Amino acid sequence: MLLNLTILPGDGIGPEVTEQAVLVLQAVADAFGHRLQLQHKNIGGAALAAVNDPLPADTIQACVASSAVLLGAVGSPAFDHNPGHLRPEAGLLRLRRELGAYANLRPAICFPALEDCSPLRVDLVRGTDIMIVRELLGGLYFGEPRSIQGAPRSRVATNTMTYDEPAIERITRIAFDLAVKRRNRVLSVDKANVLECSRLWREVVIRCAKDYPGVQLSHMYVDSAAMSLVQRPKDFDVILTENMFGDILSDQAGGVVGSLGLLASASIGGPVGLYEPVHGSAPDIAGKGIANPLGAILSAALLLRHSFRLAREAVYIESAVGAVLNQGSRTSDLVPAGQHSVSTSEMGRRVAEAVRISTSEK
């Protein structure tokens, strides 16, 4: 199969971790006789520095013409004081919208080898395997009107949370379709005691659930869900929620399973899927060669599974990550300060090698 990808390394540690993800993709492509066709383009701060636009036209063109997009991260302190539309993050928000990627899947899995990386007790976190399904194109992050207006010292800021029924229905169906392939449970998270958006959300979710009689649906307010996520994370299967609640809960889930550097994401629903680690550009460690590339590598596995239906290849990558962790390889975010760790590139090399070894035995 031809794997026609656009690679958007982005800013900070983005280029460091995407390089490793591509290395691992190449290893699995070689083993299964697929051909990688890659185009690298700028986004975020890198694009602002080059052409003063966080999402240049040639980047969009390359993305829509490819079968999937692999992104590193965006964000750079150099542009922190730019107006909103000229910040690196604006490029990513626009890209998600251009690609029509309305469903953000964020798995949070506790790898057996990393049970002791969680701030929670091992008996609480062991066996955690959560799929967070976050609506990505609606809610507060995109709602209009939005503004800061008024005279100095009495300014008023406005954001708008808005959801329509089709937007809720399409994300609900993605969550239920995933639950059918997992443990048949969906928890819908909202704030229906306070927000009209959430009341509509709950109504539509209940209506759609009737088409999935084998899936058990439950509801929780977001504040209560946040508490339960640290009290009993392994009770969760699929969490379905809107944009901002999903943003917050998925980072929390990352904290629960150990490190943000381990978390992968897929943004799907449109014609071209976008795959990226959950973490940001981590300016504090950029350029040091110590970033954890596993979130990016696991994002590449999601890319194979969701954009190319190559589930077997995806499992080889996920198993290789598990094997490398079992052998004791750790980047610095996964060990206490001062303990031995491997570099970003060494971790990538080891995962690619583990893919080569396991696929040669297939």
- Per CB under 6 A, does 333 bind ligand NAD? yes
Question: What is the spatial distance between Cα 277 and Cα 263, in angstroms, rounded to a whole number?
Answer: 6
Is 144 a binding residue for ligand NAD by CB under 6 A? The answer is no
191 part of the active site: yes
Query: Contact between 284 and ligand NAD (CB under 6 A)?
Result: yes
CB 114 within 8 A of CB 335: no
Residue 284 Cβ, how far from ligand NAD at the closest point, in Å? 5
Inter-residue contact 14 to 72 (CB < 8 Å): yes
Hey, what are 166's tokens? 């089709």
Q: Is 285 in the site for ligand NAD (CB under 6 A)?
A: yes
- For residue 235, give the DSSP letter: G
Shortest gap between Cβ of 211 and ligand NAD (angstroms)? 32
The answer to the question of residue 74 lying near ligand NAD (CB under 6 A) is: yes
Based on the shown chain and the rule CB under 6 A, indicate whether residue 92 belongs to the binding site for ligand NAD: yes
Candidates 50-58, 157-165, 178-186, 280-288; binding stretch for ligand NAD (CB under 6 A): 280-288
Catalytic (active site) residue 288 = no
3-state secondary structure string across 145-195: CCEEECCCCCCEEECCCCCCHHHHHHHHHHHHHHHHCCCCEEEEEECCCCC
Residue 188 sits in the site that holds ligand NAD (CB under 6 A): no
Given 11, 190, 247, 333, the catalytic residue: 247
CB closer to ligand NAD, 74 vs 301: 74
Q: What residues from 1 to 20 belong to the interface with ligand NAD (CB under 6 A)?
A: 13, 17
The correct pick among 138, 261, 269, 348 for binding ligand NAD (CB under 6 A) is 261
| Given 93, 168, 291, 300, the residue binding ligand NAD (CB under 6 A) | 291
Site membership for ligand NAD, residue 89 (CB under 6 A) = yes
| Residue 70 binding ligand NAD, by CB under 6 A | no
Amino acid symbol at 348: G
Query: What's the number of CA atoms in the CB half-sphere (13 Å) around residue 49?
Result: 13
- Six-digit token pair at 38? 């890659």
Verify cis geometry, omega within 30 degrees of 0, for the bond prior to 145.
yes
What number of CA atoms fall less than 13 Å from residue 224's CA on the CB side? 11
CB atoms within 10 A of CB 301: 28
Give the DSSP H or E segment for 264.
strand 264-268
Of the candidate residues 15, 75, 254, 258, the single one contacting ligand NAD (CB under 6 A): 75
DSSP run (H or E) holding 239: strand 238-241
Output 209 or 266, the one with its CB closest to ligand NAD.
266
Which residues here bind ligand NAD, judged by CB under 6 A?
13, 17, 73-75, 89, 92, 260-261, 276, 279-285, 291-292, 295, 333
List residues with catalytic annotation.
141, 191, 223, 247, 251
